[in-house]
Amino acid sequence: DVKVTQSSRYLVKRTGEKVFLECVQDMDHENMFWYRQDPGLGLRLIYFSYDVKMKEKGDIPEGYSVSREKKERFSLILESASTNQTSMYLCASSTIAGGSSYNEQFFGPGTRLTVL
Amino acid sequence: QKEVEQDPGPLSVPEGAIVSLNCTYSNSAFQYFMWYRQYSRKGPELLMYTYSSGNKEDGRFTAQVDKSSKYISLFIRDSQPSDSATYLCAMTGNTGKLIFGQGTTLQVKP
C-alpha cells in the first residue's frame, strides 16, 4: 500500500521565517510533486522532481524552492514566508513504469500552513 | 480563462439521488482524464481514470469523456452520505503534468 507522509499536519509561522515542508514516500516512486490547494483555485503545481537532484518548475514556483537529495524524500522550502503563502500544501508521488504519459499520483494528507 | 473549469458548488443532494459532476476544458491535447475524491482533512485519492473518449463504470460511479465537446462528467448513482467529499477533475496530455479543476464539494444528506 503506497504511503506518502508529510512532516506536519498543521504549521504556523511568522512572516519572513524560513519554512521547510518535508515529504516522504515508501514506494520507490521516481516522480514527486508539490502542490498548493486554495479555495476556488484547486490544486496548483509548485515544483516537481523526476529523479534525485532533479527538479522542474511548475505553474507557481515563485517564492519556493525544493530539494531532493534522496529518492524517497522531497522537501519544499519557503525562503521567506509571506502571508500569501498561507495555504494547504500537498505532496504527491508517482511511478514512471509502463510507458504511459500518466501514472496515478498518490497524495499525502497535506500540511495546512498559516503565515502570520 | 482557466484550462479546466469546474463548478465549486457546494452541491447538496438527498441520499439515493443521482449526482452529476462536470468539468470543461480548453486544451485539445488532453488525453487522460481523472476524478479524484478528497475527504475533509485528507489528501485526494484517485477514483476513476479514463483514457480518451468514452465511458467507464465502476460500481456506482460512471465517468464519461466527450472530447469533441471538451467535457467530462462523473455520475454517482444511489448516492450515500459516505460520498460526501470534494471531487476534483484532473487531466493531462503528453507531459504527464496534471491540471486540476477547482473541485466540487458534495454533501449527501441522510
Question: A31: which chain B residues are within 8 Å (Cβ-Cβ)?
Answer: 96
Top residue of A24, A43, A89, A112 to mutate, by most chain B CBs within 10 Å, is: A43
Q: What is the reported pLDDT for A101? A: 60
pLDDT in tens, A2-43: 699 999 999 999 999 999 999 999 999 999 999 999 988 889
Identity at B107, one-letter amino acid code: Q
Q: Is B92 helix (H, G, I), strand (E, B) or coil?
A: strand
Q: Is the pLDDT of residue B38 over 70?
A: yes
pLDDT in tens, A85-101: 999 999 999 987 555 56
- With CB atoms and an 8 Å threshold, state whether B96 touches A107: no
Q: Of the candidates A42, A101, A104, which has its C-beta nearest B100's C-beta? A: A42
pLDDT in tens, A60-75: 999 999 999 999 999 9
DSSP string, A10-45: EEEE-TT--EEEEEEESS--SEEEEEEEETTTEEEE
| Exposure class string for A45-54: b at 16+ Cβ within 10 A, else e | bbbbbbeeee
Per-residue pLDDT band for B7 (boundaries 50, 70, 90) equals: confident
Question: A104: which chain B residues are within 8 Å (Cβ-Cβ)?
Answer: 46, 49
Question: B43: which chain A residues are within 8 Å (Cβ-Cβ)?
Answer: 4, 90, 92, 107-110
Q: Is the pLDDT of residue B16 over 60?
A: yes
The three cell numbers locating residue A105 = 499520483
- With CB atoms and an 8 Å threshold, state whether A40 touches B44: no
- Is B9:B20 a contact under the CB 8 Å cutoff? no
B40 interfacial to chain A (CB closer than 8 Å): no
Interval A50-63 mean pLDDT? 93
